Amino acid sequence: MATGITKNNWGEETLIISDELFNESFDYEISYKGKASKKQLLLEKPKQKYEEVFCNQHPNSLFYGDNLDVLRYLIHEAKLKGKVKLVYIDPPYGTNSIFYSRNQKSSYKDDLVGSHFIEFIRRRLILLHEILSEDGSIYVHLDNNMIFEIKLILDEIFGAKNFRGFITRKKCSNKNYTRNTYGNISDYIIYYSKSSNSTWHRATLSWSEEKIKKEYPCIDEETGRRYKKVPVHAPGVRNGETGKPWRGKMPPNGKHWQYTPDRLDEFDAKGEIYWSANGNPRRKVFFDKDKGIPVQDIWTDVQDSVNQNIKITGYPTEKNPFLIERIIKASSNEGDYVLDCFSGSGTTLDVANQLGRKWIGVDNSSEAIRNILKRFFVGLKEMGDFVEKNGKSNGTADQMKLFEPQSKYQPNSSKDDGFDFFADSRFFDEAERIFKEYKEKK
């Protein structure tokens, strides 16, 4: 690629890129040693046999085994290719840590780093793309360790045009760091769809009285309804209808009317124009209690479940059920399949169950399987997480104040056996033992 530096009219340097670049069509990708062929990955059949630990021909399924092989099984043998509407995954973050549950049992090791971690996630994302329906979506939950590398991988697999959002979530209360950096209180959720025709229901929050008064400070004298005043002009000069006088007034300099004069007349006839003392018009936007507050891409109201007000399983890194509820409601309908192949504590499965979705859960940790079965057969408790990093134990849990939006989710409401339980044949005896243990406690 040829480049050159030239001077513009003000004597500043401007980078000029040769025209030949714009005549080429090319994609980008992230390269590293050990990157497997996508074509070969899609051809691979499951290597393990999956046996029924418990089966009542239910559409909900829990698998105890390696999720890469289980995804192969779901695509090639269970014939679920293109059948799943929503995937939410909260995989290891590439932190080189060991995570413990409340009872101090090792739940999983997050010891893959660098290109090993990238390829580990990539292989699963390729199969997850296959299993998604054309109107399906995927949400990948990560922290700042590998989020940008995985974003590039998602661009490769799903296409950059199908990137839908980058959500920043406040995960915990403010921290007093001793390190020379800013306190880290956020993690991230990357949202992609399989196509432009994805299922979407706008997420909203409920209005509080305080919020209503702040956002809609005025009260209409005739109706008593709350409203706010907004400009009826917008930046930029227009020569058409919106640039002409209305009621003898021109738009302010450098601006135009947002609406045609006829439309402004309609607003005024309905009492939706506010006239100031000096005769300047503004539009009255009335509060509508039926319209919630649209959720933006910064989420501060769904912090981690170590909040002592939420009943949890005690599995480390357990996510807030209201976070999962928001995602499931936004990107699926009742009766759709929701899949989480890093099921952990089973929060996704529990919430999907309560929202009338079918679900598929996968995990290769016996502690995770125990917690999922405990959630469905026994119920949840109030407890916190523990994580060990570099040999040091952290036995504290932040107590966090949570704003709970209007919700259908209720802890301990999924206590039933409405699912089938399968295990890799190598783990069958252990799976059967765990299942019987919690089934008897029901």
* Contact status, residue 345 vs residue 411, Cβ threshold 8 Å: no
Three-state DSSP string of 228-279: EEEECEEECCCCCHHHCCECCECCCCCEEECCCHHHHHHHHHCCCEEECCCC
* Contact status, residue 74 vs residue 422, Cβ threshold 8 Å: no
Cα–Cα distance measured from residue 354 to residue 334, given in angstroms and rounded to the nearest whole number: 10
pTM: 0.80
Q: What would the two tokens of residue 427 be?
A: 């783990």
Cα–Cα distance measured from residue 147 to residue 117, given in angstroms and rounded to the nearest whole number: 11
What pLDDT score was predicted for residue 387?
A: 43
Residue 107 is given by DSSP the state E
* Contact status, residue 163 vs residue 192, Cβ threshold 8 Å: yes
The dihedral region occupied by 96, where left means phi > 0, alpha psi between -120 and 50, and beta the remainder, is left
Cα–Cα distance measured from residue 258 to residue 285, given in angstroms and rounded to the nearest whole number: 14
Q: Can you name the residues that pair with 219 across neighbouring β-strands?
A: 226
- CATH fold, domain 41-204+293-441, is Rossmann fold (3.40.50)
Helix 67-76 vs helix 114-131: crossing angle, to nearest 10: 20
What pLDDT score was predicted for residue 84?
A: 99
Residue 78 is given by DSSP the state S
Q: Is the dihedral of CA 297, 299, 302, 306 positive or negative?
A: positive
Digit-coded pLDDT (tens) for 119-178: 999 999 999 999 999 999 999 999 998 999 999 999 999 999 999 999 999 988 887 667
What pLDDT score was predicted for residue 114?
A: 81
Q: What is the DSSP string of 171-214?
A: -SS-----SSS----EEEEEEEESSSS------EEPPPHHHHHH
What pLDDT score was predicted for residue 7?
A: 47
Cα–Cα distance measured from residue 375 to residue 311, given in angstroms and rounded to the nearest whole number: 10
What pLDDT score was predicted for residue 379?
A: 81
CATH 3.40.50.150 location in the chain:
41-204+293-441
Per the prediction, the chain carries an average pLDDT of 84
400 Cβ partners below 8 Å, 6+ apart? 172, 173, 303, 304, 306, 307
Is 227 strand, coil or helix?
strand
Per-residue pLDDT 10s for the chain (442 aa) are 444 444 444 455 555 455 555 555 556 788 989 999 999 999 999 999 999 999 988 999 999 999 999 999 999 999 999 999 999 999 986 544 544 444 545 444 545 668 899 999 999 999 999 999 999 999 999 999 899 999 999 999 999 999 999 999 998 888 766 778 888 899 999 999 999 999 999 999 989 999 999 999 999 999 999 999 999 999 999 989 999 999 999 999 999 999 999 999 999 999 999 999 999 999 999 999 888 999 999 999 998 855 444 555 555 567 889 999 999 999 999 999 999 999 998 999 999 999 999 999 999 999 999 999 999 988 876 544 444 444 443 333 332 333 334 567 776 666 566 899 999 999 999 999 999 988 877 6
* Contact status, residue 268 vs residue 274, Cβ threshold 8 Å: no
Q: Is the dihedral of CA 104, 105, 111, 116 positive or negative?
A: negative
Amino acid at 194: K
* Contact status, residue 131 vs residue 83, Cβ threshold 8 Å: yes
Q: What are φ and ψ of residue 82, in 5° steps?
A: 75, 15
What pLDDT score was predicted for residue 24?
A: 54
Q: Can you name the residues that pair with 312 across neighbouring β-strands?
A: 381
Query: CA separation (Å) from 27 to 130, 166, 172?
Result: 21, 21, 38
What pLDDT score was predicted for residue 426?
A: 97
Three-state DSSP string of 48-60: CCEEEEECCCCCC
Digit-coded pLDDT (tens) for 53-109: 999 889 999 999 999 999 999 999 999 999 999 999 999 865 445 444 445 454 445
CA 378 to chain centroid, in Å, comes to: 28
Q: How many other CB atoms sit within 10 Å of the CB of residue 434? A: 22
